[in-house]
Amino acid sequence: MKNYLLIVTLFLSQTVIADTITEFDTSYYFSGVVSNVDQSGTLLNGAIQTGDVFNGVLQYNSFSPYLINLDVSVGGYSFSPNVSSVLIDDNLNGEDVIIFSSDAFSEFSNSSYASVQLKFVDSTGTLLSGTADPLPDYFLLNQFDSVLLSVNQTTFENSTLSGYSITGGVLQSSEFSPVPIPAAVWLFGSGLLGLVGVARRK
């Protein structure tokens, strides 16, 4: 009876642990400096300037690479993600490119979303060659030779078009991909079940 109780408890523990794993299991942290700011109208009103620092985190799920979260702060102003997507192209003008995009809530306008993009570029055009689903099983994002951030927003203010475009290059980054916990838990559980079986035979 005790053995059966152990089995049930172990199964429930594995289920709880697996369910508590967050939906994103890989995080790419990045930072850089704004290299160009174009603005028209008064939407941005000079709040962000060339030379300002940006930083953020890109999160995605290694089992469902198109489930992503892109959170960015530029010059101290936040762009919180709303709807995110990813575009993978292994032959864009001779380059391999992955573009993560997000329609983000902006502090500068409540009437329109800002478009935030994080673009990974492999200038050799070889990094994605021959891969059916190149994200993220085949390589780390840090293998790309350049990463570019762009933030754009356009809206009408008093019947006048107002907007801005911000671009910059990522200078520092780090990627964190933890060991898949669910698989480890099931393996550990299987080993314990085996020990229970041996104990019962004795």
Domain ranges of the chain: 26-177
Q: Is the pLDDT of residue 5 over 50?
A: no
Q: What confidence score (pLDDT) does residue 194 get?
A: 54
In which band, very low, low, confident or very high, does the pLDDT at 86 lie, cut at 50, 70 and 90?
confident
Q: Is the pTM of this model over 0.85?
A: no
Residue type, 1: M
Write the pLDDT tens digit of every residue in 16-71.
Answer: 334 334 588 888 999 999 999 999 988 999 999 999 999 999 988 777 767 789 99
pLDDT at 171: 94
CA 17 to the chain's CA centroid: 23
Region of 94 on the Ramachandran plot (φ > 0 left; ψ -120 to 50 alpha; else beta): left
Mean pLDDT, the chain, as a whole number? Answer: 77
| Burial class of 102 by CB neighbour count within 10 A (0 to 12, 13 to 18, 19+) | buried
Q: How confident is the model at residue 133 (pLDDT cuts 50, 70, 90)?
A: low
Q: Residue 12's pLDDT is what?
A: 40
4 against 133, higher pLDDT: 133
Residues 65-75: tens digit of each pLDDT? 677 899 999 99
Mean pLDDT of the region 95-120: 91
pLDDT, one tens digit per residue, over 141-189 is: 888 899 999 999 999 877 788 999 999 999 999 887 665 545 444 454 5
Q: Is 151 exposed, middle or buried (0-12, 13-18, 19+ CB in 10 A)?
A: buried
Q: Tell me, what's the pLDDT at 29?
A: 95
